Structure 1
Amino acid sequence: MVLHLHRHRKADGRELLLYGRAAHEGAAGAELPPADGVPPHLRWHPLRQEWVGYAGARQARTFLPEESDCPLCPARDGATGEIPFTDFEVAVFENRFPAFAEAGDAPGIAGVRSAAARGRCEVVVFSADHRGSLATLPDERIDLLIEVWGARIMALREMGFAAVMPFENRGEEIGVTLHHPHGQIYAFGFVPGQIARAAEAQAAAPVIARMIEEADPALFLHRGARAVSLVPPFAMYPFEVWLAPRRRVPGPQHLDVEERGELAAALGDALRRLDRLFGMPMPYILTVQAAPAGHDASFHMTIEIKPFRRDRAKLKYLAGVEQGSGVFLVDVPPEEAAARLRAVDGAR
């Protein structure tokens, strides 16, 4: 399958990329005016031994607009958004309110180590349809999205960034500010602590391959020839689901056509099961875990879905123990979660 790319430079200098299975056609329309903002920066947390980002401009980002004012919808009469074209398949553009930037200075902050927040933040719009979701997309569009994730990881790594993470925040319950189906990609000038720890663990042992081979078969939602989905036996969230190719690859850019297709179908299946579990859209965080710089030879990519609902009327909150100590308490054991998800129909 061919991946077509149409490049567009927005009026304020940000890059917009339109990906699709068909070549994009059509001229650009009106553009949004430039946004004002203070460059983001980092401060070192001496107890956690990791960076904390500060990006005050994000306070001004668009908050739960009406569909008629959605900035992620295609261009239409009387409205100007981020994508000045009348249609698209998958769109990627530099975030108007970034938490990291390719240029900037380290401010002098008394009593704390600081640094420029070097990186790049991109928005990934999954579809032109405002009312859809990743779960309702056809497998072919999810396949395209996975290929786009891989293309962006490869491009951003080639730009010199140390780690790249595509992700999706879904649901107002976890702070989503735009309802249009979309995700983001963050590229970091350093390797964040959680990604570094996962990379070091995998350098020491084939953790993901062992999980795929040794986990209880009852934990699997999909157990295919090229890809799997399962509730990990060490899940930190109720109904947590991981997906992975059977073959160890460091990121989606290294999947072959068959692996990507099976992974796309398994991802759609898992998301539909989560939505149907309680008869309502499941709020979740989805992350694509790919190798940071220096770990391509040992890292095994995963797609991890962390739901934020533990029952129909009960959200999973990170309360005192989790936030104060880092020790998670899980209300629904992985074995029970898997059994309940397996009992739900994940078919389209």
Structure 2
Amino acid sequence: MKRTITHLADGRELIYFDRRDDADRSAADRRELGPRPVASELRYDPLTEEWIAMAGHRQTRTFQPKGTAAECPLCPSAPGRDTEIPAYDYDVVVFENRFPSFSGNFGTYEDVGGLSEVRPGAGRCEVVCFTSDHDSSFSRLSEDQVELVMEAWADRTAELSAVEGVEQVFCFENRGSEIGITLAHPHGQIYAYPYVTPRTKLNLGAASRHKGPGNLFADVLAAERAAGTRVVTSNEHWTAFVPAAARWPFEVHVYPHRQVPDLPALTEAERAAFAPLYTSVLRAFDGLFGVVMPYIAAWHQAPVREGRDLAYLRLELFSIRRAPEKLKYLAGSESAMGAFVNDVLPEEAARMLRSQLDH
């Protein structure tokens, strides 16, 4: 793999990840861009003990251009049309988000009164372009391409974990207009948070209180593999299953068989085994109702400094679609109380997904 670092016209970092060592990445960004926005403002909620980012500059971010490659800022540049990627072709590209929720470009932050503490939204947000093919999707990537994306995820996790003030690195993909994507090109994002996220705190708290024979996550995996009814697919290194207490109509957790804290800790064999299993699950999602399935794919990694002995790398994939023309909305119970009601039995969801596997 060849890794090439360059910079965009406004100073943001861009990194090419190429399979070929002779890839030429000398093309420069010829655009004239305005100044970069200052970092968001973090405000502390004393009722939930959570940090909330106030990022007003994100209101101006690019929103659903015409949907063709000719208008897409994530496609390669072309003669007469400059995009976020200066090269005329690429394998995988990572660059700093132009409209970040967190960054190192600080502004002025004032006390807002009340019981809320205020501090800069220090950190970093990056965009990961999985392929230069505007009309592709993660499910259609070759195994080699998925491995290259994983190399990029691992590289960025290691690099961002070393940034001062970063406490957790989160790699994820949003797919589908129903989820709220603003750009259709196959891509994901990476957030480097200046705090440990609420979900991770809950998970690590549960793991610290676990009374089972081993690590909580390892015991969950072992129990699901033993039960079998909710396992969607597995191979030598990974198991994909619907959790017994799934919140979403179609939700699959993908666990490595070995406890590791984060993506950089995976072996070459584990990375290679992930690609065919995961893409088959994604294709099963699309096969359920014969429509493109909206989803969120979220990598849960250990925080940078705390709970690394308890954490267990895993990917959680879920969709808000519950039927061909029906979505799962987070209404009163879910949004106000955080109390989920699932419309699809996990065992039935697993059976339906298994029926769509293409192997």
Given the alignment of the two structures, is residue 240 of structure 1 paired with residue 251 of structure 2, yes or no?
Answer: yes
Give the deviation of 1:198 after TM superposition: 1.5
SS at match of 2:315: strand
Taking the aligned partners of 1:277 and 1:32, their CA distance within structure 2 comes to 43
Taking the aligned partners of 1:203 and 1:31, their CA distance within structure 2 comes to 52
Cα–Cα, structure 1 residues 31 and 287, in superposed 2: closer, same or farther, change >3 Å? farther
265-274 or 31-40: bigger deviation: 31-40
Give the deviation of 1:299 after TM superposition: 1.1
Matches within 5 A, 1:106-121: 106-111=109-114, 112-121=116-125
Matches within 5 A, 1:73-152: 73-104=75-106, 105-111=108-114, 112-152=116-156
Partner of 2:61: 61
Partner of 2:190: 185
96-105 or 280-289: bigger deviation: 96-105
| Residue-pair matches, total | 345
Matches within 5 A, 1:202-281: 202-205=207-210, 206-215=215-224, 216-281=227-292
Taking the aligned partners of 2:30 and 2:189, their CA distance within structure 1 comes to 21
Give the deviation of 1:142 after TM superposition: 1.2
Given the alignment of the two structures, is residue 340 of structure 1 paired with residue 344 of structure 2, yes or no?
Answer: no
Give the deviation of 1:80 after TM superposition: 1.2
- Is the contact between residue 134 and residue 268 of structure 1 (CA under 8 Å) also seen in structure 2? yes
SS at match of 2:104: coil
Instruction: Say which of 173, 177, 202 aligns to 2:178.
Output: 173
AA partner of residue 32 (structure 1): R
Taking the aligned partners of 1:269 and 1:245, their CA distance within structure 2 comes to 16
Give the deviation of 1:131 after TM superposition: 0.4
Partner of 2:335: 323
Taking the aligned partners of 1:130 and 1:236, their CA distance within structure 2 comes to 31
SS at match of 2:4: strand
Given the alignment of the two structures, is residue 28 of structure 1 paired with residue 44 of structure 2, yes or no?
Answer: no
- Is the contact between residue 199 and residue 291 of structure 1 (CA under 8 Å) also seen in structure 2? no
AA partner of residue 329 (structure 2): Y
Taking the aligned partners of 1:16 and 1:133, their CA distance within structure 2 comes to 22
- Is the contact between residue 4 and residue 25 of structure 2 (CA under 8 Å) also seen in structure 1? no
Taking the aligned partners of 1:6 and 1:287, their CA distance within structure 2 comes to 26
Give the deviation of 1:213 after TM superposition: 1.0
121-130 or 210-219: bigger deviation: 210-219
AA partner of residue 52 (structure 1): I
Cα–Cα, structure 1 residues 240 and 157, in superposed 2: closer, same or farther, change >3 Å? same
Partner of 2:203: 198
Taking the aligned partners of 1:38 and 1:103, their CA distance within structure 2 comes to 5
- Is the contact between residue 41 and residue 107 of structure 1 (CA under 8 Å) also seen in structure 2? no
AA partner of residue 184 (structure 1): Q
Taking the aligned partners of 1:50 and 1:29, their CA distance within structure 2 comes to 41
Partner of 1:8: 6
- Is the contact between residue 202 and residue 300 of structure 1 (CA under 8 Å) also seen in structure 2? no
Taking the aligned partners of 2:279 and 2:57, their CA distance within structure 1 comes to 34
Give the deviation of 1:254 after TM superposition: 0.7
- Is the contact between residue 243 and residue 263 of structure 1 (CA under 8 Å) also seen in structure 2? no
Give the deviation of 1:148 after TM superposition: 1.4
SS at match of 1:184: strand
Cα–Cα, structure 1 residues 139 and 43, in superposed 2: closer, same or farther, change >3 Å? same
AA partner of residue 303 (structure 1): L
What do residues 159-202 of structure 1 show as CA deviations (whole Å, max 9, x unaligned)?
Answer: 13110000111111111010000000000111111112212323
Taking the aligned partners of 1:346 and 1:239, their CA distance within structure 2 comes to 18
- Is the contact between residue 70 and residue 81 of structure 1 (CA under 8 Å) also seen in structure 2? yes
SS at match of 2:178: helix
SS at match of 1:273: helix
- Is the contact between residue 18 and residue 90 of structure 2 (CA under 8 Å) also seen in structure 1? yes
AA partner of residue 90 (structure 2): F
Give the deviation of 1:296 after TM superposition: 2.3
Give the deviation of 1:270 after TM superposition: 0.8
What do residues 29-66 of structure 1 show as CA deviations (whole Å, max 9, x unaligned)?
Answer: 44333345353111111222101111111111111112
Taking the aligned partners of 1:75 and 1:137, their CA distance within structure 2 comes to 21
Structure 2: segments with no counterpart, 5+ residues: none
Task: Name the Cα RMSD after superposition.
Answer: 1.4
TM normalised by structure 1 equals 0.95
What do residues 46-98 of structure 1 show as CA deviations (whole Å, max 9, x unaligned)?
Answer: 22210111111111111111221110000102211100001111100000000
AA partner of residue 45 (structure 1): D
Given the alignment of the two structures, is residue 298 of structure 1 paired with residue 302 of structure 2, yes or no?
Answer: no
SS at match of 2:250: coil
What do residues 240-282 of structure 1 show as CA deviations (whole Å, max 9, x unaligned)?
Answer: 0111110000111111111111112111011110011111111
